[in-house]
Amino acid sequence: MQDYWPTRVAAIPFVVVPCPTGLFADRLGLCTLRDPTICDGECSCGDGLVTGSETCDTGGTASDGCINCTQTYGWLCDGEPSVCTYHSCGAGVCFGQCIGDQDCVGPCLPSVSPWVADDCWLPADFGFLAAWLGDWAASFYQFGDPRRSCTSVTSAVTCRPTTSGARVTSLYLDSLPEYYWLPDNIDQLSLITSIQLNNFLSGPLPESLGNLTNLEVLTLTLGHMWGGLPSAVNQLTRLRVLDLWNNWHTGNILEHLYPLHSLQVIDVSENFGYNGALPPGLGQLTDLRFLRLYSTLVAGPIPAQWASLTNLRRLDVARTYLSGEFPVWIDAWPHLYYVDVEQTYLSGPLPVSFQSSLKYFSARSLSSRETMSGALPECAAGSRLQYLGLSGSALSGPLPRSWANMRELWALYIESNMLTGPLTVLGNFSNLQEVFVHKNKFSGPLPEFNWYWAESVNLGGDANGGNQFTGPIPSSISTLRSVRSLYLRDNLLTGELPSSIGELSSLEELFLSHNQLRGALPGSLGRLSNLKVLNLADNQFSGSLPLMNGSGSLETLFLQNNQFTGNLSVGSVPSLRSLRVDGNRLNGSIPSDLAELLPDLRWLNATANLFSGRLPEFLPPRLFAAQLALNAFTGSA
């Protein structure tokens, strides 16, 4: 959430307070009896008299503390002629109320060890903070230059100088060593504009929070807070950011917020006790930019009154109990770039079109909850869409031709629908990294694989039907240099496996089972050094078994139900655990050195072949299941 959370609120400029009647302020802000604008006779620097605009005058004696009759910061000059003494911070010496117009300080205090051993003054609110946070408060009061308004080197606290001392205007604290409650008298920090306390708060929010009428940012995350928002928060009319992410709040947290027309950010996600319906009145917050409610118990429809939230950029209501029709009117929100409604009970058609501002859209159903239906949305020209998740619904029809505008798309999840037609429109999506279109009814040839950055590609079907891609595997498969998982199983693919498959140097899983592929396997297959799973079952491959000597990571090799001939030899593969060659035309005997070639083999299925002879005396030491039936072995096991 770094893209919108403010971390500091600028301090309000200090206004110099005049001296009481009868006293006069010199350039350092000290109140004196002498009017520095009046000279009794001739005024000149070096005469030993502090007159006119002078702040010191040593009578001509050189001093680092008084240069050109101006007192140097850190020095205290007194008397006529002036005698200047250097004082380090922490000595309890005041240098005046103000130096210039920007370097303002509050009242000076003596050294206050152990709280702040090296500082000349403390903010007026420090006593309250010390009483609340105890010794830990000292760690964020480490001021350097006492001329400045109170800004700690850890940026934990910022302050504003006032006539009664510096007043805290913001708190930013992360990960205190123990849990604290927000005190009932928090309204003592009456000038505070920003409270950001993460990873340590517990207890309920006090009603007095509503008295902090200057508050603009309230961030209380990753805590153990409970009880929801007090009704008094509707007095925080300047509040722009409300972030209560990851607490234990209960009830309907949003019901008191609609008078707060300055709100731009609301995040109450991962409060698992937050329940109830979404309040229609929230539609009055027309300046709202970010709304996050995911992983809560909110239920019911998204109110039609929310259609007026035309400034909304981000809507995240995933993993909730929202139901009713999907709010198709969100396509009129011109700034919307993020929508996440996955794992809800929303249903019905999607918007007619994805507008060009949209970057992320997810309505994935991982548990058959929502039932999105109808056609896929069109895609506006100049689309910025990068992530599209529409898995597990009842969407139908072909991919719109306007999807060719999705040139920035890197993740596509449209599996487990009833989509039809070819995938030609996806061929030139060079930014794709995740492609999941399996368990649909797509047909036609495979798209050209110009997905240079793809890591996971699943175009498969299943045993109950699904995709029916036809034709050969294109040689452009060699462009998938980054792919780790490639699933093309359960289709109607024909032809031979191209030798360019050996160029997929990152490949870890290859599933080509249940197709009509034929011919001998290319030798390049055995050079896939990162390959862990190879499944070529239920095709028409022929020739010898592949030698996988170069696949040092291979653990699973399924070659069953093909037309392989020759001996049982896949080379030396020390990592191989599962080997299936059943349902082929292999012959000869089981190699006597099988235990040396496949020392980690756990499961071997070689049934329904033409093997003969005796079993070897030594089998792999970890082998616990060997299925060898329907062969012509002799002797006893």
DSSP character string of 64-77: TTEETTEEPTTEEE
**Domain boundary, last residue among 346, 380, 410:** 410
Grouping H, G, I as helix, E, B as strand and the rest as coil, residue 613 is strand
For range 105-117, the mean pLDDT: 31
14-39 per-position pLDDT tens digit: 233 455 555 555 544 455 555 555 55
**Domain boundary, last residue among 42, 64, 96:** 96
Range of the domain at 68: 19-96
For residue 609 the two structure tokens come to: 């072949």
pTM equals 0.77
Considering the domain boundaries, does residue 399 fall inside one? yes
Considering the domain boundaries, does residue 248 fall inside one? no
Measure the CA dihedral 185/188/192/198, to 10°: -30
Considering the domain boundaries, does residue 250 fall inside one? no
499-555 per-position pLDDT tens digit: 999 999 999 999 999 999 999 999 999 999 999 999 999 999 999 999 999 898 999
Considering the domain boundaries, does residue 295 fall inside one? no
117-142 per-position pLDDT tens digit: 233 334 556 666 766 776 556 554 44
3-state DSSP helix/strand/coil % of the chain, to nearest 5: 10, 30, 60
Bridge partners (DSSP) listed for residue 32: 24
Considering the domain boundaries, does residue 23 fall inside one? yes
Considering the domain boundaries, does residue 543 fall inside one? no
* C-alpha angle 359-362-363 in degrees, rounded to nearest 5: 150
pLDDT at residue 63, as a whole number? 87
259-299 per-position pLDDT tens digit: 999 999 999 999 989 999 999 999 999 999 999 999 999 99
Considering the domain boundaries, does residue 353 fall inside one? yes
Total domains in the fold of the chain: 2
Look at 317 and 17; give whichever has higher pLDDT: 317
**Domain boundary, last residue among 29, 61, 96:** 96
pLDDT band at 74 (very low <50, low <70, confident <90, very high): low
pLDDT at residue 198, as a whole number? 84
Considering the domain boundaries, does residue 33 fall inside one? yes
In terms of average pLDDT, the best of 44-53, 313-322, 443-452 is: 313-322
Taking 70 as the threshold, does the pLDDT of residue 77 lie above it? yes
CB-hemisphere CA count at 13 Å for 241? 20
Which residues, 6+ apart, have CB-to-CB distance to 636 below 8 Å?
none
